[in-house]
Amino acid sequence: MDRVPLIAAVLLIAIVRSGAADEAAGRDATWLTKLRRSQEAVEWSDVIVRHDWRIQVRPRDGRCRILDSRDAFVRQGSLEECHAAFAALEAEGTIPPMAGPAVIVLHGLGEGRSSMRPIADHLRKTLDATVLLFGYASTAATIEAHGRSLDTVVGGLPRTARISFVGHSLGNLVVRRWMSLADEGDLARVDRMVMLGPPNRGSDLARQVGGVGVLAALADGAARDLVVDWPQVEPHLAVPPCEFGIVAGGRGDGSGFSPLLDGDDDAVVRVEETRLDGAGDFLLVPVHHAAMISDQRVKRATESFLKSGRFVADHDEVGR
C-alpha cells in the first residue's frame, strides 16, 4: 500500500512523542515496516520469481515493481520496463541463476508469502531444490487470475527445471486452476504436489458466510469465488496430473475443532472437503488450519512426499 493505516501511524507518533528511547522508536518503526509489507502482500501478485527476487503486478491498477531478496523496493514502472530491468540484474549477476528442480510454495486466502516461510525454510534445508515463495493478491483478483499469474511464474523458470508444488488452503485451488490453463509442456514438468488443508470440495464455512447477505456482498476476488461463485469455479479446477498427497487437520474424533462445522475439521476446512480422487496418499494431523504451516509433523510429511511420493507418519499423528 502507499501508506500505513492511520491508527498505526498514530501509535508510532504517540510512542516517539512520549519520550521513549531511540531503541523503542526503532523497534516500532520495524513493526510498522512489517505491517506495511503484510498489507502489501494481499495487494500484489508475483509474475516472475528468481530465488527471493520478484516482479510483481498490482491487480487493482496494473502497477508493476521489482522487489529484492529482502523484499526491499528496487524500482517500479511498466511491466516491460520491469522485465528489462530484471533481465539486466540477472545479466550482471545481482540475481543468481537458477538450476535444478524447483518447489513452488503458495499461501492461502488473506495471507502473504511470509506466512509460508516456516515450511519453505524447512524444505530449503532438506531438499536439493530451489524453493520459491509465490505470492498473490488473494482478495484483489479471482482464482483464475491468480492461476494466470502462476502461469507466468512457471513459464519464466528454466525450461529444464522439474517443478513441484506445496499449497496451503486456497493456494491449492490456484495450482489446480493453473493446471487447467497450462500447456502440455509445462504440465509435463510437474513432479509432485502436497496439499495442506485444501478446500478441494469447497468450504462449508464459506457457504455459511455466503448465507449472510451483507458478508456475501463484501466478498471480493478469490474470497467471492469460495463464498458466492463456487458452483461456477469448481468445474474449472483440474485434478493434478502428477503424484499428489493431501494433509488434513482434524481431531480424529468425528467432531473436529469447530462447533460451526459438521464432522471432523481443522477449524476452517472439514476433513471431507480436503479429499480429492486420485490422491497418492492422505494424512490426518491433529492441528488447526493456520498452525499447519509451522507444525513439525506437517513439515516432515511434506518433505517425505516430495522426496518419495508417500507421507511418513509420526507416532502421534492421527492417521491416513
Specify the pairing of strand 102-106 against strand 130-134. Answer: parallel
Residue 68 has pLDDT above 50, yes or no: yes
Taking only the tens place, the pLDDT of each residue in 136-158 is 999 899 999 999 999 999 999 98
- Into how many domains does the chain fold? 3
Q: Say yes or no: 36 and 125 in one domain.
A: no
The candidate with the shortest Cα–Cα distance to 79, out of 142, 171, 186, 152, is 152
For residues 229 and 131, state if they share a domain: yes
Indicate if 276 and 144 belong to the same structural domain: yes
Do 292 and 259 fall within a single domain? yes
Same domain? 91 vs 5:
no
Using the 3D structure, point to which of 64, 80, 97 is the last residue of a domain. Answer: 97
- Residues 175, 113, single domain; the answer is yes
Say if residue 111 is in the same domain as residue 250: yes
Average pLDDT over residues 273-302: 97
Do 76 and 105 lie in one domain? The reply is: no
**Start-end of H helices in 42-141:** 79-91, 117-126
Same-domain pairing of 130 and 251? yes
User: End of a domain among 11, 26, 41?
Assistant: 41
Pairwise CA distance, residues 78 & 67, whole Å:
14
The residue from 60, 75, 97 where one domain ends is 97
Output 222 or 40, whichever has higher pLDDT: 222
The x, y and z cell numbers of residue 77, run together, are 514502472
pLDDT tier, 37 (very low <50, low <70, confident <90, very high otherwise)? low
Distance CA 97, CA 225 (A): 36
CA distance 249 to 165: 19
Across the range 265-277, mean pLDDT stands at 97
DSSP string spanning 241-262? SSEEEEEEE--SSSS-S-TTSS
| Same-domain status, 187 and 232 | yes
Where residue 194 sits, what CATH number does that domain have? 3.40.50.1820
Whether residues 31 and 134 share a domain: the answer is no
pLDDT of residue 54: 98
Write out pLDDT tens, residues 156-198.
998 878 999 999 999 999 999 999 999 999 999 999 999 999 9
Same domain flag for 8 and 50: no
Domain hosting 34: range is 1-41
